[in-house]
Amino acid sequence: MQVKELVSYLNHLAPFTYQESYDNSGLLVGDPSAEVKGVIVALDCLESIIDEAILHGANVVLTHHPIVFKGLKRITGANYVERTVLKAIKNDINLVAIHTNLDNVHFGVNHIISGKLGLKDLKILSPKAATSYKLSVFVPQTHADLLRESLAKAGAGHLGAYSSCSFSSKGEGRFKPDEDADPFIGRAGELEVVKEIKVEVVVAEHAVSSVLHAMKATHPYEEIAYDLIALTNSNEYIGSGMIGNLEDGMEAMEFLNFVKRTFHCGTIRYTNPTKSTVKRIAVCGGAGSFLLKDAIRAKADVFITGDFKYHEFFDAEDHLMIADIGHFESEQYTSEWLVAQLKKKFTNFAVRLTNVNTNPINYL
């Protein structure tokens, strides 16, 4: 079991292609072909986490936050980032981050938070646009079923809770093979007319290369006529934040106390409740103030996130209650969820949740 296979499984959980442009998720330090001896999972990658990995004989540190975020121009140990990277390299520890790609998938950071709060009817708060493609491919009638099947198997045609979605229309394909062609149907120099089917499928960005690969492997033609077109549709399953409903409404302060207990918050900074009973809750793990307008638009009673600044609290106006529960606190359960996923999938090495509390903030 190599590091790259572990990374490939993470890509299956939360495709790296959905990370934000400023992010740096993936294998950051290490050797893709190294054998995995053990994994430590934490929210942040620090020297103390590398020490923990060494102690347990683990050679992979998987964290939500990437230790290398901005470019590193030198690695001399001048700050904690450089020292962590140096220590990892010296000890053959591989550093992997699964950051905004895990924020942006439906079953990711915000789904975990929503689960802890018992929210139902979950939807992404701000779905991303332009993360899918339309593939139209022209295939002889005789091969249409086979093609549809192999496209679906490669991940094409997913629409929400539906799979194997496609549209087919009948028509005629015309072509004249050249002297140096090796046609599946027809002869060189003769115009051929073939009954063909146009198969159309939606393909999510992360599945494009495997779907094209499957199409080429299944289609009988030497030259395949197909269109791959980028869509501007928003994707309800990829994006930021999450909105859902409590099963039963709760008194606003009772709800905040429940949140404080659930996330072990040293403090919660909040604006005045706008309703005495709250039911509709928006969440965003980490720094979520950029989603305030989306939370208001989605008619949330409370917006739970971290890293709100003083002036940003005013923007709640009379629309909703902002509850800043802390960056670390909001994302802390991501690590144990990752441990559970890896343990389910891999049995040939140990996966441990860190014992180190990496939160740099104390509350007095």
From the list 76-84, 157-165, 240-248, 331-339, the region that binds Zn ion by CB under 5 A is: 331-339
Residue 55 CB, shortest distance to Zn ion, in Å, is 25
Q: In the bound complex, what is the minimum distance in angstroms from residue 269's beta carbon to Zn ion? A: 17
- Choose between 110 and 131: whose C-beta lies nearer to Zn ion: 110
Q: Shortest approach of Zn ion to residue 4 CB, angstroms?
A: 25
CA separation for the pair 265, 326 (Å, rounded): 7
Measured from the CB of residue 26, what is the shortest distance to Zn ion in angstroms? 16
In the chain, alpha helices (H): 3-13, 47-56, 80-90, 100-104, 109-117, 144-153, 208-218, 252-262, 292-297, 310-314, 327-331, 333-345
The helix/strand/coil state of 316 is coil
Nearer to Zn ion, 218 or 332 (CB): 332
Cβ–Cβ < 8 Å for 111, 13? no
- CA distances to 15, 112, 260, 331, 361 from 325, rounded to whole Å, are 28, 15, 8, 10, 12
Q: Which is nearer to Zn ion, 100 or 341 (CB)?
A: 100
Q: Minimum CB separation from Zn ion for residue 240, in Å?
A: 12
Smallest distance, Zn ion to C-beta of residue 307, A = 9
Q: CB of 281 within 8 A of CB of 246?
A: yes
Residues 272-291 that bind Zn ion (CB under 5 A): 286
The single-letter code of the amino acid at 196 is E
Listed ranges 7-15, 168-176, 255-263, 323-331: which one lies at the site for Zn ion (CB under 5 A): 323-331
Span 81-100, contacts to Zn ion by CB under 5 A? none
Of 113 and 211, which has the nearer Cβ to Zn ion? 113
Which region, judged by CB under 5 A, interacts with Zn ion, from 16-24, 120-128, 161-169, 325-333?
Answer: 325-333
For residue 207 the two structure tokens come to 């599945």
Name the nearest CA neighbour of 330 among 354, 305, 352.
305
| Nearest distance in Å: CB 19, Zn ion | 13
Position closest to Zn ion via CB: 286
* Count of other CB atoms within 10 angstroms of residue 113: 29
- C-beta atoms surrounding 273 within 10 Å: 18
The strands making up 132-140's β-sheet, listed across from edge to edge, are 167-175, 192-204, 132-140, 226-230
Shortest separation between residue 43's beta carbon and Zn ion, angstroms: 7
**SS3 of 186-230:** CCCCCCEEEEEEEEEEEEEHHHHHHHHHHHHHHCCCCCCCEEEEE
Q: Which is nearer to Zn ion, 43 or 215 (CB)?
A: 43
Q: How far is the CB of 339 from Zn ion (least distance, A)?
A: 17
**Reduced to 3 states, what is the DSSP secondary structure of residue 141?**
helix
Nearer to Zn ion, 127 or 286 (CB): 286
Beta bridge partners, 317, equal none
Backbone angles phi, psi at 70, to 5 degrees: -95, 170
The least CB distance from residue 331 to Zn ion, in Å, is: 5
HSE-CB for 200 with a 13 A CA cutoff: 7
- Tell me, residue by residue from 240 to 279, as one string, x for binding to Zn ion by CB under 5 A and - for no binding: ----------------------------------------
Closest CB to Zn ion among residues 66, 286: 286
The 3-state DSSP class for residue 285 equals strand
Of residues 40-69, those binding Zn ion (CB under 5 A): none
Cβ closest to Zn ion, residue 233 vs residue 357: 357
Nearer to Zn ion, 3 or 49 (CB): 49
- Give the residue carrying structure tokens 């709100």: 308
Integer Cα distance of 196 and 174 in angstroms: 9
Q: How far from 165 is each of 134, 183, 216, CA to CA, in Å?
A: 12, 30, 19
Looking at the Cβ atoms of 64 and 87, the one nearer to Zn ion is 64
Count of residues binding Zn ion (CB under 5 A)? 2
Residues that bind Zn ion (CB under 5 A): 286, 331
